[in-house]
A and B are shown apart, each in its own frame.
Chain A
Amino acid sequence: MAEPLLSTDRLIKRFGGLVATDSVSIDVKAGEIHALIGPNGAGKTTLLSQLTGNLRPDAGTIRFAGREVTHVPMHARARLGLARSFQITSVLREFTALDNVALAVQAHSGHSFRFLSDARREPGLREPARRLLAEVGLEGRADTLASALSHGEQRQLELAMALAGDPKLLLLDEPMAGMGPEESHRMVGVLQGFKARRAMLLIEHDMDAVFQLADRITVLVYGRAIASGAPADIRANPDVRQAYLGDEAA
């Protein structure tokens, strides 16, 4: 059996006396959608931050695409094909949607030590950017300032930026946060469309979306992965029901 695309081995992260990540071993296989769920404060975003390189784990290792990346800096991991979207929308507000995505494309298209030619006219950057905007359904808003987009549109823009550079793995932190039912439905469709080409590790609270999308679910409580497996098994798992799902999954 091939090595999973992403795997962690007993990852530990402490903040003073608090153990935010408690010996977590998790993996994501190529082509799968793996959802990470758990109550607030369970350490999901902390775990994600260690996977992207924003935080350094205190112990344990992370492997991605066949190599160890525990100490590889964030920008280098992005270049290896590990992309992230943020829980709190982090688009560049003073730039247009197209500019945002074009910058994301630029990050993967050679170096940027070019001082004299106008990057806004580079077809090699603008065209792929337009295609990505279309993929997430934002092609009509290409020339709108990011700050003028609705919240849902900004989440879509986040996704488009994460897709630039054709990542192997998408780490999505609550992509549907703050979205209404219709927008969420649209986003689920978009994400399902990616499945074949890209693996995803997805933090979400929207249980409907999670059960629609996920091939596997891992449940994180107080920094520990208490259960991991197929959605049906997770739904039936008594520990999970007690700790998190409560009556919802009934």
Chain B
Amino acid sequence: MTKALRTPRGLITAILLLLLAVLPLLTQALDQRYLLSIGTRIVIWSIAAISLNMILGYGGLVSFGHAAFFGTGGYAVGILAANGITSGWIQWPVAILAGALWATVIGALSLRTRGLYFIMITLAFAQLVYYVGAGLEAYGGDDGLNITRSRFGGMIDLRDKAAFYWLCFILLCATLWFCGRMANSRFGLVLRGAKANDLRMTALGFPVFRYRLAAFVIAGAFGSLSGILLANEGAYISPAMMSWVKSGDLIVIVVLGGMGTLFGPIYGTIAFFVLEETLKPLLDLGHRGWGEYWQIVFGPMLVLIALYARGGLDSLLGRRHG
């Protein structure tokens, strides 16, 4: 581990993680409560991005429906809360299970297809979840619903922003740990091999479908976790959290940060959040009021990145070995 710290990439990552670890202390010292809120969302989105990276970055599966898991996690918690079940000990496992179940269903159907079909189908199924959410009038329908945060019986009060942040951060570390172990495990190698050449892997004797399905389910479970956290962050659920635009944002984040790398999703999330916050004032400098239309610049930026910079931020930080 100390060897890793000597490389520029290792050092930057370590500093980043350290900053994230002490963020609540920093924001309190600087008296910038708003920053803590952004920080919390960055941590939560990082978990979602890491979960997508498992199937997209390591597995090569272009799933355009990952935001649906924000929904499975968030709505499971929200629906239970609205029906009087506010204990996090019950809600959270149920929500994670819901995500895993949904992933099993979509995975079983979409993984039978390839290429364009796969992308379209994952998108379509995510829309399905969106419409179901928007159609649930009892739970806010299109407008969404305010919910009470999960309760953990005195162990932790999620309304305490710093405490909630640290919980999210710990969960991020746990997710990172799991992903790191998985990448070089037997399972991870099969997944990565299948990304490289799935016909070869099948010819070697691996039933690739089963492994991909398992990866989908795991990614769905972690994705749901991020949905749970998102719902608790704002004490609010709405179909907008599952919109296909969010799925697209997640893909952008994973690619931006560097696909198939461990910390890439975190870099990508930070870059994504920071990009919006910097493009706006930058444009306003050029002409007042232009900042509002920052996506006119962001859109073409994505086009350029897609065409010329696919290695993402991770590759900018230095080459690595296999």
- A residues near B207, Cβ cutoff 8 Å: 73, 75-76
- The dominant DSSP class at the B interface is helix
Bound-state CA distance A73–B199 (Å) is 12
Is B186's CB under 8 angstroms from A112's CB? Answer: yes
Closest residue to A80 on the B side, CB-wise?
B205
Closest residue to A161 on the B side, CB-wise?
B204
Contact flag A103-B193 (CB < 8 Å), given A75-B207, A112-B211: yes
Is B190's CB under 8 angstroms from A75's CB? Answer: no
- A residues near B205, Cβ cutoff 8 Å: 75-76, 78-79, 107-108, 165
Contact flag A118-B185 (CB < 8 Å), given A74-B202, A78-B204: yes
Contact flag A119-B185 (CB < 8 Å), given A75-B207, A78-B204: yes
Considering only residues 164-219 of chain B, those with a C-beta below 8 Å from chain A are 178, 181-182, 184-190, 192-193, 196-197, 199-208, 211, 214
Bound-state CA distance A161–B206 (Å) is 13
Is B200's CB under 8 angstroms from A115's CB? Answer: no
- A residues near B322, Cβ cutoff 8 Å: 94-96, 99, 145
Contact flag A118-B206 (CB < 8 Å), given A90-B200, A94-B196, A96-B322: no
- A residues near B185, Cβ cutoff 8 Å: 114-119
- B residues near A149, Cβ cutoff 8 Å: none
A156 in the interface (beta carbon within 8 A): no
A162 CB to nearest chain B CB (Å): 9
Closest residue to B321 on the A side, CB-wise?
A145
Considering only residues 64-82 of chain A, those with a C-beta below 8 Å from chain B are 73-76, 78-79
Bound-state CA distance A86–B202 (Å) is 13
Bound-state CA distance A20–B203 (Å) is 22
A214 in the interface (beta carbon within 8 A): no
Bound-state CA distance A116–B187 (Å) is 9
Is A164's CB under 8 angstroms from B186's CB? Answer: no
Is B202's CB under 8 angstroms from A115's CB? Answer: no
Closest residue to A121 on the B side, CB-wise?
B184
- A residues near B187, Cβ cutoff 8 Å: 112-115
- A residues near B192, Cβ cutoff 8 Å: 94-95
Interface residues of B (CB under 8 A from A): 178, 181-182, 184-190, 192-193, 196-197, 199-208, 211, 214, 322
Closest CB pairs A-B (n = 3): A78-B205, A107-B205, A112-B186
